[in-house]
Structure 1
Amino acid sequence: MSASPSIPAARARSATRRPNRLRQKLKRELENLKAEVAFLSFWSPTGRHHRHSSGGSHGPGFTDVVLVAAKDGPKGDPSSPVPAHRAILAGQSAVFKAMLENEMEESRNGTIKISDVSYHALQLFVGYLYVEACLDEQMACELLVLAEKYQVERLKAYCEKFLVSKLNWDNSLKCYAFAHQHNANHLLGAALSLIMDNLDGLRNHQEYLELVEKDPRLVVELYEAILASRKKMQRLRILLRNNSLVWRKVLRIHEKGAFLVLIIFFLQE
């Protein structure tokens, strides 16, 4: 009987811990957002807009850690520190996370020394971590539009790869329309493949109904692309079925891991 009073107490403690965990999670997310906004508002590749001191009076970006390249600056002078935010570094790198969360020297003095790297390389590295932290689907779409407009092909390819990684049935038609508009062929093909795998549900897709109203020509082009893709696959199957020599070649090439190369060859014929 003595254990019964502890049950309500345990439930009360559990109920108290849940809001605390939620508050801590929201606090971490808020800190990350503040760090990202501050960085995007004040960070520049030259680092001229930042000041950092160990006394807690940080520059206008409210950075709380600096990274220092071990190599000297471009003229032999000591490298300038690259300011950053602990939340971003820890969120993007398991190594930085271990440094900053444990009682290591870097965590205590707020300075991380990076060996065998130049100042400019370190700047680019930190900038990349922030891009990764801030990138979402909306930002990737906007960057892709800019990359296409100014012919920055590597950035466009990077954004396409990111958007393909986020592709799902719910956003497939939206991504297809976006890719069609901005000549993003990699994203276009991935979206088309996903749509073809789910044709039975296409007519009930909310984005499809909206697309019929807004851009019926694109809907027609979508069906044309589906039919063209099916015809190519049918042609490939006929070639493989009717030509035993080709089939033997396919088997040999497949063993070498180049099966897709042969498929592409036939589709382009």
Structure 2
Amino acid sequence: MEDERMNRAPGSRKQLSLRCLSCREEYCSTDAGTCKECYEEASETEEELKSEIEDLKAKVAFLRLGSSPLDSHKRSSSIGFSDVVLVASDEFHSNPVSLLAHKAVLASRSPVFKAMLEIEMEESRSGTISISDVSYDALRAFVNYLYTAEACLDEQLACDLLVLAEKYEVKHLKMYCEKFLVSKLNGDNSVASYSFAHQYNANHLLQSALSMIIEDMDNLTKSEEYTHLVEKDPRLVVEIYEAYLSKQTNTAARSD
């Protein structure tokens, strides 16, 4: 009891010993609550939860059906939002393969599909939309995502879906694929990812790949992907070096 009173006495050289509400370990501080480690962990968890909530809100917004021409008296009755057939060209099949979908879903998810199906275009009249240069598996995953906002990705499928998302302006899918591809970035694929991201306006992937390239500039010219990039699109090589020099300049300015 005497030791405890000494701990609590004003001006005592000993700090107040507290027990963390989270981990139950003792720590010394003038503030009650949690220890520093648990506080930092809780802050990180809070940020992760906020991110998950934002992702869920975006998913709900994506899956919500928007206004359909079925509800508009201004549309011709000949443009009914019934079933539609999506036809894919697949190099592994001699004949085109197709999938059934609903026009209302396609129009709600993609402004490109919406335009095709609302306006008197061939796709609207025939009820068939031809999608070239896509495999059946990629098309099936694409249509499934339009209905569920979910996909079981690998790197190749993520690239294929990102291409379709860019073509048909499905922003939610594009962000989903970019996030996955960023998680798979490494020293071996950063240059190829940078080139791919540049081609399909994937800005998040582009900046992440560029940052990784700049951090490992000493090994850039040693990679086979770099050689291919020099031959294929030397303009991107110039952009990489410009970004690297800009970073070096900014670093030098801050050190001064």
Q: TM-score range by the shorter chain?
A: 0.3 to 0.5
Between Structure 1 and Structure 2, the one with more strand by share is: 2
Between Structure 1 and Structure 2, the one with more helix by share is: 1
TM-score, scaled relative to structure 1: 0.39
